[in-house]
């Protein structure tokens, strides 16, 4: 009598391995998103400090550039870099979160990106106590606010 592995046994083993691999991928993605959320919160903390220094120097917060997050991010970075104390704080931001090229490789005004690779949005209405910083979150869509991350 010879011993061998049947086709059914092989299929069961492959199915179990595939199920375990899927569970690992889901867990890793969840851990990655949690780490990126913490990274976004840390970025907001650094930008909050730079905004406070800007306010202490000028007596006001930088104006909002428009309705486009990319434009707002560029304008915010430009304004914060114009104040020495804010500039020093901005140097604490990881270089991977500052992008100075457009999609075509043309050097442009630097802008601030979240850990998912989307430009941060900056919103400030005169009279607000503090500006609002918004990350589009894992889905990279500002319109779907259920996973957006803000400094408030």
In the prediction, which pLDDT does 3 show?
Answer: 79
- What are 49-87's pLDDT values in tens digits? 999 999 999 999 999 988 899 899 999 999 999 999 999
Looking up residue 61, the CATH number of its domain turns out to be 3.30.700
pLDDT tens by residue, 105-115: 676 788 999 99
Does the residue 45 lie in any domain? Answer: yes
Percent of the chain with pLDDT over 70: 96
CA dihedral (130, 131, 135, 136) in degrees, to 10, reads: 120
Residue 87 forms part of a structural domain: yes
- Please count the structural domains in the chain: 1
Residue 23, pLDDT score: 97
Q: Name 120's Cβ contacts closer than 8 Å, sequence gap at least 6.
A: 43, 47, 69, 72, 73, 76, 111, 112, 113, 114, 133, 134, 135
Write down the pTM of the prediction: 0.80
Q: Does some domain include residue 120? A: yes
Residue 140 lies in a domain: yes
Residue 23, domain member (yes or no): no
Domain boundaries, position 71: 34-150
């Amino acid at each position: 009598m010879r011993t061998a592995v049947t086709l059914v046994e092989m299929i069961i083993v492959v199915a179990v391995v595939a199920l375990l691999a899927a569970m690992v991928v889901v867990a890793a993605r969840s851990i990655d998103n949690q780490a990126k959320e913490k990274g976004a919160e840390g970025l907001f903390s650094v930008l909050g400090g730079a905004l406070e220094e800007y306010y202490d120097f000028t007596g006001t917060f930088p104006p909002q550039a428009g309705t486009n997050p990319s434009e707002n991010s560029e304008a915010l970075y430009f304004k914060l870099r114009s104040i020495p104390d804010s500039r020093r704080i901005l140097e604490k931001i990881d270089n991977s979160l500052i992008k100075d090229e457009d999609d075509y490789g043309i050097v442009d005004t630097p802008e601030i990106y979240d850990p998912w690779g989307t430009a941060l949005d900056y919103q400030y209405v005169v009279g607000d106590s503090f500006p609002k910083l918004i990350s589009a979150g894992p889905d990279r869509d500002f319109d779907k606010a259920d996973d957006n991350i803000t400094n408030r």
